[in-house]
Structure 1
Amino acid sequence: MSKTVKLKKGFDIKLVGEAEKQLADFKPAKTFAIKPTDFIGMQRPKVTVNEGDTVKAGTPILFDKAMEKVQYCAPVSGEIVEIKRGDRRKLLEIKILADAYISYESFDKFSGDSLKSLSKNDAIEQMCKSGVWPQIIQRPFGIVANPEDTPKSIFISGFDSHPLAPDYGFLLQGEESNFQAGIDILSKLTSGKIHLNVNGESAIPSVFANAKGVELNKFSGPHPAGNVGVQIHHIDPINKGDIVWTINPYGVVQIGKLFLEGKYDASKLVAVTGSEAAKSGYVKTFLGACVDTMVSGNTKQDNIRVVSGNVLTGERINKDGYLGFYHQQITLLPEGDQYEFLGWMKPTSSRLSYHRALGLLSFLSPNKEYVLDTNTNGEERAFVQTGVFESVTPMDILPVYLLKAILAEDFDEMEELGIYEVVEEDLALCEFVDVSKHPVQEIVRKGIDLIQYS
């Protein structure tokens, strides 16, 4: 039965620089990269290509020796121009110089009755060898799902409440048939329900409203209402021993295209956002695109930070860096390396703060959009027991006590306090409002790793 969930806890970070709902005329990227660092939990990556090799979109270029069945494939056709390694030969990037016209590996096509009669094992085999399987993420732990497991349910968040997040209705225009085919395939992978969760405060995009075979739930409230972990918590909570799979709508569409068209189509729309973007909008490119064409000549100043993803959970990259595997936006922000006299004590209404602190008057203008830099405005210190973490976490957990249990490596306490229900993004807002300046997301990942590998 569909549910309507209204959340009160949380906080919307309203920033200047939302992407205009139109295609921007940026030059196409020339190089693309797959970064093993995007796949949390990848233990022993093995490269299957060499520099100078030519590949097609859908050609396997990488796999994890711990789960060899799942292949990571080239998003475009072209030449492998660099296999970049770091300290101790850690694999960082596999770069591809793209062809002018993309050619694709061929996979089996299905439609109508043949799609319905396709077996679970055959569906999994095609997904694993074609490159779409890594779109499926397992909870707990937030890692690429194991195709040998069977989840109790599958969750899809149909909206993103992070700052400056792209609009899914715009991203998925015209993808109704591909999305439905993706849902039909996913339904073969679980005996439970597929939960499609949408924003209850706005019109439901047609790609979601017309979907069949899903339970449509509505969520409303401030961020993190769009986080799939929060949605799981309120619909079908995870207990020790449970497995739930999650996938974003882009991944569902990609699965649908694989089975309907017989190819690994890694094309996507990416939102160019942020206060320092001279021109915002959406650009059509491919997964793992180099962002240089979106950044070069498109900044209001030179001293900026480029983030692949959103400002809370995204990854800092160079101006010629590469879009993350799971990211659908880049954000351009002022670099926070300049300091103000009196800092946070200086009376101002131009700086956003969750706290009604002396001098920070942003609470008087709740709908104002702000230009924020990356300065943390403080340094790490002891945890302050203010209750503020709980006020921005719409889950029945105690974040401060959970974080302390992780730091103390107390396994029993971590389990009792909800470590199985969270990943980094679920407590990212705590890091933003933390007056003690702790790396909350790093601590959460440390706790997950302790539980997973103990």
Structure 2
Amino acid sequence: MSKDIKITKGLTINLKGEAEKTLASAPRSRTFAIRPSDFHLITPKMVVKEGGSVQAGDTIFYSKTNELIKFVSPVSGTLTKIERGAKRVITNLLIEADPQDTFKDFGVLSPTASSPEAIKARLLESGCWPFIMQRPYAVIADTEIVPSNVFISAFSTAPLANDPDFSLHGKEKELQAAVTALSKLTEGQVHVGVGKSGSSPFKGLKDITLHNVSGPHPAGNVGTQINKISPVNKNEVVWTIAPQDLVIIGELLITGKFNAERVIALSGSEVKTPKYYRTRIGSEASTFLYDSGLKNENVRVISGDVLTGTKISPKEHLGYYSNTVTVIPEGDDYELFGWNKPVFDKISTTRALTFSWLTPNKKYNLDTNTNGEHRAFVVTGNYEEVFPLDMYPLQMLKACMVQDLDQMEVLGMYEVAPEDFALTEFICVSKQPHQQIIRNGLDLMYKEIG
């Protein structure tokens, strides 16, 4: 049985450079990288030393605070370099890959016949546990807490983002194994949000509660769907998992192998032939960037979508959780009197000298220019127009900035993640870093409240 969720508040950002629905295999990356910074609040404790050989699935490091949470190699090869930053903090782990992968065999595990304890132990042992995130705090799930529900968003509304219906095509068997396993690890249900008009592979699966979602961005955000299905209360924990990570979990249970395969959407107005590539977690971005070709050199390469992604160089590696790479103009030039003339080539939620509201379906070629400097918050009421969660976004941001824990609790901080504020950051006339403010607020709550 499916249930409908219709989002009315939000903003659809139509950008040029959508990835064509064709799938190619990216050239094999020579090196792969794992950045501990991708795992928020995790301090790594190394297991493999420089020069050590690893198979795909071998543990490279574990969490210093919880040795059960392991992080494994996406490929077989040699750990050639451990890069460190200030105070000898590990910033990057480089693996020189073998020509062909050899896999550690974890053994086949039937999700229907296995106990919750056996499933949990397999996810921890194999390095699949870091795919499971929890709310509150938007961090890797606590191994000791049973979630009240599990939420999966298989509907993407972010600009130029990966289309789950396409990238998950033909993976029904793996998805079924994963959701069946997860259904045994929760007291509640596995909720899956899919596009109302799409052809999602989730629509024929068992052990899930399906929700048909429609509306503008951020309708595809899992936080938006949680808010409409079952909001997170104090002393309550829910899990969230990305759809492609379910495929890795499902394949692990079916074959016993940790296959870190990713289907990447290479998109953006600066890509000559934007399309989908099959690659692996942590691969070099250049393997598919130069295969498709770039139109210019002065570009911003983003591991992720344009609203929530991280800037990387073409020679750097994919983020651990990224399934999109976006390339747009850098935007380091400035317009003379740009604030004092009619604007036809930018998106705006206001009608002051801007005309994007006249052509809602027009596609734009936006760059990274913020079109203004950082300044104090201006109370405009615009955030509420694009923020569909039943909360007060401006008050929540201010409570985080002044570190008012009581107010943060009252306003609903247990439910949100930084990505829920990406759209309010995009339209912010004050150019405030909303996502970083929320991240700092969540970290403070995690430290003080736990």
* TM interval, short-chain normalised: over 0.9
Whether the 8 Å contact between 1:11 and 1:223 is mirrored in structure 2 is yes
Which aligned pairs between 1:91-106 and structure 2 lie closer than 5 A? Answer: 91-106=90-105
Aligned residue for 1:23, secondary structure, equals strand
Aligned residue for 2:294, secondary structure, equals coil
Corresponding residue for 1:53?
52
Aligned residues: 447
**1:372 counterpart letter in structure 2:** L
- Distance in 1 (alpha carbons) for counterparts of 2:288 and 2:142: 35
- Distance in 1 (alpha carbons) for counterparts of 2:125 and 2:238: 22
Q: Give 1:120 deviation, angstroms.
A: 1.2
Whether the 8 Å contact between 2:301 and 2:313 is mirrored in structure 1 is yes
Q: Give 1:3 deviation, angstroms.
A: 2.3
Aligned residue for 1:128, secondary structure, equals helix
- Distance in 2 (alpha carbons) for counterparts of 1:41 and 1:355: 38
Q: 1:284 aligns with which of 267, 278, 283?
A: 278
1:312 matched to 2:307: yes
**1:408 counterpart letter in structure 2:** V
Q: Give 1:2 deviation, angstroms.
A: 3.8
Q: Give 1:25 deviation, angstroms.
A: 6.0
Corresponding residue for 2:116?
120
Whether the 8 Å contact between 2:165 and 2:198 is mirrored in structure 1 is no
Alignment TM-score, normalising by the size of structure 2: 0.97
Which aligned pairs between 1:4-403 and structure 2 lie closer than 5 A? Answer: 4-24=4-24, 26-42=26-42, 44-111=43-110, 115-200=111-196, 202-205=197-200, 207-296=201-290, 298-358=293-353, 360-403=354-397
Aligned residue for 2:69, secondary structure, equals strand
Whether the 8 Å contact between 2:36 and 2:44 is mirrored in structure 1 is yes
Aligned residue for 1:97, secondary structure, equals strand
How large is the RMSD of aligned CA atoms in angstroms? 1.2
Aligned residue for 1:3, secondary structure, equals strand
Residues 57-104 of structure 1, C-alpha deviations (whole Å, 9 max, x = no match)? 100001111111011000011111211111111111111111111110
Aligned residue for 2:23, secondary structure, equals coil
Residues 267-316 of structure 1, C-alpha deviations (whole Å, 9 max, x = no match)? 11111111001121111110111101222371111101110000000001
Q: Give 1:346 deviation, angstroms.
A: 2.6
Residues 384-440 of structure 1, C-alpha deviations (whole Å, 9 max, x = no match)? 111111111101111111111111111111111111111100011000000000000
Corresponding residue for 2:447?
453
Residues 321-350 of structure 1, C-alpha deviations (whole Å, 9 max, x = no match)? 111111101011111110111123232311
Residues 94-153 of structure 1, C-alpha deviations (whole Å, 9 max, x = no match)? 111111111100012034xxx322111111111111111111000011100022110000
Aligned residue for 2:130, secondary structure, equals helix
Whether the 8 Å contact between 2:25 and 2:279 is mirrored in structure 1 is no
Whether the 8 Å contact between 2:25 and 2:278 is mirrored in structure 1 is no
Residues 175-231 of structure 1, C-alpha deviations (whole Å, 9 max, x = no match)? 11111000111111012111011112x2232x2111101100111110000111111
Aligned residue for 1:217, secondary structure, equals strand
Aligned residue for 1:420, secondary structure, equals helix
Whether the 8 Å contact between 1:269 and 1:328 is mirrored in structure 2 is yes
Aligned residue for 1:316, secondary structure, equals strand
* Alignment gaps of 5+ in structure 1: none
- Distance in 2 (alpha carbons) for counterparts of 1:25 and 1:270: 10
Aligned residue for 1:397, secondary structure, equals coil
Whether the 8 Å contact between 2:349 and 2:382 is mirrored in structure 1 is no
- Distance in 2 (alpha carbons) for counterparts of 1:87 and 1:287: 26
Aligned residue for 1:61, secondary structure, equals strand
Whether the 8 Å contact between 1:22 and 1:281 is mirrored in structure 2 is yes
Deviates further, 27-36 or 157-166: 27-36
Q: Give 1:26 deviation, angstroms.
A: 4.3
Whether the 8 Å contact between 1:312 and 1:428 is mirrored in structure 2 is yes
In structure 2, relative to structure 1, the CA distance for the partners of 1:26 and 1:105 (3 Å cut) is: closer
- Distance in 2 (alpha carbons) for counterparts of 1:185 and 1:26: 31
Alignment TM-score, normalising by the size of structure 1: 0.96
- Distance in 2 (alpha carbons) for counterparts of 1:178 and 1:5: 26
- Distance in 1 (alpha carbons) for counterparts of 2:149 and 2:27: 41
- Distance in 2 (alpha carbons) for counterparts of 1:379 and 1:452: 31
Whether the 8 Å contact between 1:33 and 1:93 is mirrored in structure 2 is yes
Residues 232-276 of structure 1, C-alpha deviations (whole Å, 9 max, x = no match)? 111011011100001011111111111110100101111111100
Whether the 8 Å contact between 1:229 and 1:423 is mirrored in structure 2 is yes
- Distance in 1 (alpha carbons) for counterparts of 2:166 and 2:20: 10
Aligned residue for 1:68, secondary structure, equals coil
Whether the 8 Å contact between 1:67 and 1:146 is mirrored in structure 2 is no
- Distance in 1 (alpha carbons) for counterparts of 2:56 and 2:245: 16
Q: Give 1:172 deviation, angstroms.
A: 0.9
* Alignment gaps of 5+ in structure 2: none
